Structure 1
Amino acid sequence: MFLLLLCLGSIFLVIYNFAMTSLASLYIVGDLGSSFRLVSYSVSLFGLGNLITLPLSLGFYRQVGTRRLILVLLAIFALASYGAGLAPDFSTFVFFRFLQGAGGGPLFVLMVVYFQHFGTEKMKEHLVNYVLVIFITASTVGAAIGGTLAYEANWRYSFLIDGALITLIFFLFRFAMRNSETPREKHPFDWKGYIAFVLAVTGPCLFGILGEWLDWFRSFPLTLMLTVGFFSLLYFIFHAKHRKEEPLFQFSLLRRPGKLFALAALFVIFSSYFGTILLISLWLRLYVNYSIQWVSVLLGMMALSTGVLFFSIRLSSHRHRLYLLVLAAALLCASALQTTYFNVEVNFGRIAVTRLMEGFSFALALPPIISLLLDGLQQEERPSMFMFFQITRVFASTFGAFFYTTLWYRRDDFYHSRFTEPLNRFSGVFEGFLHRVQGYGAPSQSSLEMLDNLVEKQAECQALRDCYFFIFCVVALFLIATLIYFFFGRVCKKRDSAPKEAQKPTTA
């Protein structure tokens, strides 16, 4: 049980660190002299570091051993946390955030591998259930605690405390695992496939992350990154399919349509979840001037859904899991549609209800997705499937962080230019506004500042409406796909069971 708590603690810190800078980034970029539009970099580059090192968890541990690899990754994670907390500028800070992600990426899969060798069946069952709770709570708790520490004290304390906790876990792991090590094997690591995977992941991610400042299709570096990533992905798939020795990923596990559908559902859920956390928190704190405490309360509404998780775990059998997915998709769809009604004045109750609905949908969706992924797999195949789960989850979270914030900024600029285009000195509307405001005794400069403030707020609200309407469209397509999969699954099940019933012997 002590080792189980250590594993859960390390997994919690990895997911907690993913979202810890969602609110704290506002203070980090201000303290380190950067732009507020770069707040998503600390989340996105952490996720990119996760993605790059994830394949090492299954392929590389056979050569060095699980215990040694876990300790090395924890050491990198701790040192990177100290480096981020002591960073003198924003470039150094995001570099150490990338190293944090690289150190924490393979830990979850390595914990599964370790318990596959040394854990009891009861411990394995508890590990999966508790990890589901961590996935829901750690993201919102990380954003709330990180933002509160940055507001009340200093953002550096979050990373220094985090580094101290990881250092403690490092020494406790070293003591608890001193007599247990997985057997080493002489399987050669697929370095060609790994390099192709790194290029295939890095190109599209940097294309999306840097797209805020550079034009996506007119910038030669971004176009080159996307092109290299695309051809690297093709080579990676071709190489994995024709490799005779053990490949980096077991794509044979994804031959069933249910596995691909579960990964697609996982991508939709996590991308919208992280996109919502960043959009709501940035809008309320940066543009509406809500305090961190109120934003943390709103995010905490999403964490309250953990009670629903235990209910959905009990119902995540083969019979009920698709019902739970349909219900989760419907709640997420309703939450996104309700959030599209943005006004300049904030309706705190409506935003709180929509966050609670999204938290419920997240809690209802995770257990059936895990059940679909692990259905029909042998015990030795489960770590490979958890690898696909982690890659999809991390990529979806990274995608949601950079895509929805960039979409918001782009639409904000579009609406701002559209609203201000008719406002010039020759416009009758503009002259009428100045005449009306000056009638109240306001000077011309104050009138222009007031007009700019009103236009900016209206542009932000219109841009947020577009973002959440896009989320609604994506989730609505996911709901339709879930209903289609549910219908065809029942039809195929009845068709397969019909011959069996016909072959039953009849009794007189």
Structure 2
Amino acid sequence: MASAPTSASDFLPPPPLTGSARLWGTLALSAATFMNVLDTSIANVSLPAIAGDLGVSPNQGTWVITSFGVANAIAVPLTGWLSQRFGQVRLFTASIMLFVLTSWLCGLAPNMTTLIFLRVLQGLVAGPMIPLSQALLLSSYPKALAGLAMALWSMTTLVAPVMGPLLGGWITDNISWPWIFYINIPVGFGAAFITWSIFHKRESQTRKLPIDSIGLALLVIWVGALQIMLDKGKELDWFHSGEVIALGIVALVGLIAFVIWELTEEHPVVDLSLFKKRNFWAGVLALSVGYGLFFGNVVLLPLWLQQYMGYTATQAGMVLAPVGLMALLLSPLVGKNIGKADPRHFAALAFAVFALVLWMRSNFSTQADMATILIPTLIQGVAMACFFIPLMTITLSGLSHDKIPAASGLSNFVRITAGSFGTSIATTIWQDRAAMHHAQLSEFVNPGSVAANSALSGLASAGLTPDQALGSINRLVDQQAYMLAANDVFYASALIFLLLIPLVYLTRPAQAGAGSADAAAGAH
């Protein structure tokens, strides 16, 4: 291969692909993206099975999701530096192959500690995949078809969350949970082979740039400490534990040091100056808090259904799967009209629909049938269609074109991190509220309670010993307590979504500078 030009001005981007090369290139890039996004949702319904098999509680099992999310978020800001150092095509192909390797190792993990460590590695190597798949896809199409290219790409990222719970549930019930990771192997090999065959002669310019190693180290320290604190807090009784206090201090000091360093560094790993723009900081805040709430509730729902409602992993997957159906139908419509209408109205509609969905869920009872649980999930697709692209349009509007990659990377980092934090916070609050409701409900089980005595007599006449009868009553109290706790989380989340609507209108109306392709490119 010819040596790369020495300056950026000498470098001419390759012409768009044509014919079957473009078709196969699009399929390969979409397959890699699909595999990556699938891994954020496929484990949700498998958590009880993974936790049971590896001998930990389902709440400790949430580390399988949060460890991947945090590592993925940390790797995203590095994509720009790595792609300039090694080339986009080389980095993307290497990222896929390492993702395949870590997926295989995740399936072989003998215990939870090893699985979490491997999920961290998997998240780190997966970081560059999504931004680079967008960049390579846009280079494959002429500018006039950039919107179509991103619409095709967006479809994959919407289908994957639909398929994830269904596929994960079916595999867990009918084969075994390691296969949720093994299925990445053939998809990854195929995507890497086709990508390299088509794109290796279209390698991007490479040049040596300094890396902000201190900024990166501080980023890993404060984000990692905060996530571990959130995950371990519920096990160690929060700030009654010296370990949790120490993690909190490390996270706070690390964050302060990180902000000071990044604001004074010539080549920062994260460009914090972007937060000077009102649309950027308000858009990122609304996007991240909204995504954190959404993802936390998406993890909580199947946990509740499987642990306390008697659902299998497949049934829980069927309840979650329709979330993407309406989004799949409506997203092209939103993408087409985002330039004609005020994106703030779309974002406000998304938050209002999310609030409605969660309010509906907050009225669930232990008698709720599958149809009752499915209806809010279907409606939620409307909110998803109006959520990502409008908020990214707001966030990126008014920025110069050279700032778009950094802004997209930073907003994705904050959003993915918020998703991991949201998972930990939602499951922690669920546990705490369940303990409180259990204590309150248990007060009604006493010698003076007619209902309790009647239930105990009925169980005794069925042949249960007094201890067995009390155990049965305790299980019923548990079921009610966790249902009430889930309702509390759903209701609080609905209120927070409503509070996000005024935040959207703090932004200025989006300018035409950030094209729909740029918005779509940052949306996932």
1:385 Cα offset (Å): 1.9
Distance change >3 Å, CA 213–CA 169, structure 1 → 2: same
Distance change >3 Å, CA 135–CA 261, structure 1 → 2: farther
1:430 Cα offset (Å): 8.1
Q: Return the match for 1:277 from 293, 298, 309.
A: 298
Distance change >3 Å, CA 434–CA 360, structure 1 → 2: closer
In the alignment, the residues of structure 2 paired with residue 29 and residue 237 of structure 1 have an alpha-carbon distance, to the nearest angstrom, of 37
1:445 Cα offset (Å): 3.6
1:117 Cα offset (Å): 6.1
1:442 Cα offset (Å): 4.7
In the alignment, the residues of structure 1 paired with residue 351 and residue 303 of structure 2 have an alpha-carbon distance, to the nearest angstrom, of 25
Q: Return the match for 1:475 from 497, 508, 516.
A: 497
1:208 Cα offset (Å): 0.9
Q: Return the match for 1:310 from 319, 332, 336.
A: 332
User: Which residue in 1 is equivalent to 2:388?
Assistant: 366
Q: Does 1:292 align with 2:313?
A: yes
Q: AA paired with 1:411?
A: R
User: Which residue in 2 is equivalent to 1:50?
Assistant: 72
User: Which residue in 1 is equivalent to 2:150?
Assistant: 128
In the alignment, the residues of structure 2 paired with residue 188 and residue 116 of structure 1 have an alpha-carbon distance, to the nearest angstrom, of 27
In the alignment, the residues of structure 1 paired with residue 130 and residue 311 of structure 2 have an alpha-carbon distance, to the nearest angstrom, of 35
User: Which residue in 2 is equivalent to 1:502?
Assistant: none
Distance change >3 Å, CA 107–CA 300, structure 1 → 2: same
1:431 Cα offset (Å): 6.8
Q: AA paired with 2:297?
A: T
User: Which residue in 2 is equivalent to 1:106?
Assistant: 128
Q: Return the match for 1:67 from 86, 89, 92.
A: 89
Q: AA paired with 2:155?
A: V
Q: Return the match for 2:284 from 248, 259, 263.
A: 263
1:273 Cα offset (Å): 2.2
Stretch deviating more after TM superposition (245-254 or 327-336):
245-254
Q: Does 1:96 align with 2:118?
A: yes
Q: Helix, strand or coil for the counterpart of 2:245?
A: helix
1:386 Cα offset (Å): 1.7
In the alignment, the residues of structure 2 paired with residue 258 and residue 167 of structure 1 have an alpha-carbon distance, to the nearest angstrom, of 40
In the alignment, the residues of structure 1 paired with residue 444 and residue 56 of structure 2 have an alpha-carbon distance, to the nearest angstrom, of 32
1:318 Cα offset (Å): 5.9
Q: Does 1:207 align with 2:229?
A: yes
- The answer on whether the counterparts of 2:168 and 2:317 sit within 8 Å (CA) in structure 1 is no
1:361 Cα offset (Å): 0.5
User: Which residue in 1 is equivalent to 2:208?
Assistant: 186
Q: Does 1:334 align with 2:356?
A: yes
User: Between Structure 1 and Structure 2, how many residues are aligned?
Assistant: 487
Q: Does 1:240 align with 2:262?
A: yes
In the alignment, the residues of structure 2 paired with residue 161 and residue 8 of structure 1 have an alpha-carbon distance, to the nearest angstrom, of 16
- The answer on whether the counterparts of 2:85 and 2:206 sit within 8 Å (CA) in structure 1 is yes
Distance change >3 Å, CA 390–CA 123, structure 1 → 2: farther
Identity %: 22
Q: Helix, strand or coil for the counterpart of 2:43?
A: helix
1:4 Cα offset (Å): 2.7
User: Which residue in 1 is equivalent to 2:17?
Assistant: none
Q: Helix, strand or coil for the counterpart of 2:380?
A: helix
- The answer on whether the counterparts of 1:140 and 1:302 sit within 8 Å (CA) in structure 2 is yes
User: Which residue in 2 is equivalent to 1:4?
Assistant: 26
In the alignment, the residues of structure 1 paired with residue 310 and residue 506 of structure 2 have an alpha-carbon distance, to the nearest angstrom, of 44
User: Which residue in 1 is equivalent to 2:485?
Assistant: 463
Q: Does 1:485 align with 2:521?
A: no
Q: AA paired with 1:478?
A: L
In the alignment, the residues of structure 2 paired with residue 58 and residue 164 of structure 1 have an alpha-carbon distance, to the nearest angstrom, of 28
- The answer on whether the counterparts of 2:71 and 2:124 sit within 8 Å (CA) in structure 1 is yes
CA RMSD of aligned residues (A): 2.5
- The answer on whether the counterparts of 1:327 and 1:361 sit within 8 Å (CA) in structure 2 is yes
Distance change >3 Å, CA 178–CA 136, structure 1 → 2: closer
Q: Deviations over 1:215-249 (max 9, x none)?
A: 22122222222211212211222112122x23222
- The answer on whether the counterparts of 2:87 and 2:204 sit within 8 Å (CA) in structure 1 is yes
In the alignment, the residues of structure 1 paired with residue 366 and residue 75 of structure 2 have an alpha-carbon distance, to the nearest angstrom, of 43
Q: Helix, strand or coil for the counterpart of 1:148?
A: helix
User: Which residue in 2 is equivalent to 1:81?
Assistant: 103
Q: Does 1:145 align with 2:167?
A: yes
1:124 Cα offset (Å): 3.8
Stretch deviating more after TM superposition (364-373 or 133-142):
133-142
In the alignment, the residues of structure 2 paired with residue 385 and residue 74 of structure 1 have an alpha-carbon distance, to the nearest angstrom, of 24
- The answer on whether the counterparts of 1:60 and 1:189 sit within 8 Å (CA) in structure 2 is no
Q: TM-score, normalised by structure 2?
A: 0.86
In the alignment, the residues of structure 1 paired with residue 315 and residue 498 of structure 2 have an alpha-carbon distance, to the nearest angstrom, of 30
Q: Deviations over 1:280-314 (max 9, x none)?
A: 21222221112334322221221111101111112
Structure 1 gap segments, 5+ residues each: 494-508
- The answer on whether the counterparts of 1:416 and 1:456 sit within 8 Å (CA) in structure 2 is yes
- The answer on whether the counterparts of 2:165 and 2:316 sit within 8 Å (CA) in structure 1 is no
Q: Return the match for 1:251 from 272, 278, 298.
A: 272
Distance change >3 Å, CA 386–CA 436, structure 1 → 2: same
Structure 2 gap segments, 5+ residues each: 1-21, 512-524
User: Which residue in 2 is equivalent to 1:30?
Assistant: 52
In the alignment, the residues of structure 2 paired with residue 5 and residue 380 of structure 1 have an alpha-carbon distance, to the nearest angstrom, of 28
In the alignment, the residues of structure 1 paired with residue 456 and residue 74 of structure 2 have an alpha-carbon distance, to the nearest angstrom, of 59
- The answer on whether the counterparts of 1:117 and 1:182 sit within 8 Å (CA) in structure 2 is no
Stretch deviating more after TM superposition (382-391 or 110-119):
110-119
- The answer on whether the counterparts of 1:58 and 1:110 sit within 8 Å (CA) in structure 2 is no
Distance change >3 Å, CA 55–CA 485, structure 1 → 2: closer
- The answer on whether the counterparts of 1:32 and 1:90 sit within 8 Å (CA) in structure 2 is yes
Alignment of 1:152-163 (within 5 A): 152-163=174-185
In the alignment, the residues of structure 1 paired with residue 311 and residue 199 of structure 2 have an alpha-carbon distance, to the nearest angstrom, of 46
Distance change >3 Å, CA 122–CA 406, structure 1 → 2: farther
Q: TM-score, normalised by structure 1?
A: 0.89
Q: Helix, strand or coil for the counterpart of 2:211?
A: coil
Stretch deviating more after TM superposition (88-97 or 376-385):
376-385
Q: AA paired with 2:321?
A: G
User: Which residue in 1 is equivalent to 2:470?
Assistant: 448
Q: AA paired with 2:390?
A: P
- The answer on whether the counterparts of 2:162 and 2:325 sit within 8 Å (CA) in structure 1 is no
- The answer on whether the counterparts of 2:76 and 2:128 sit within 8 Å (CA) in structure 1 is yes
In the alignment, the residues of structure 1 paired with residue 28 and residue 119 of structure 2 have an alpha-carbon distance, to the nearest angstrom, of 23
Q: Return the match for 2:252 from 219, 230, 234.
A: 230
1:170 Cα offset (Å): 2.1
In the alignment, the residues of structure 2 paired with residue 25 and residue 477 of structure 1 have an alpha-carbon distance, to the nearest angstrom, of 31
Q: AA paired with 1:359?
A: G
Stretch deviating more after TM superposition (140-149 or 341-350):
341-350
Q: Helix, strand or coil for the counterpart of 1:185?
A: coil
Alignment of 1:312-461 (within 5 A): 312-317=334-339, 319-421=341-443, 423=445, 428=449, 432-433=453-454, 436-437=457-458, 440=461, 442-443=463-464, 444-461=466-483
Q: AA paired with 1:265?
A: A
Q: Helix, strand or coil for the counterpart of 1:472?
A: helix
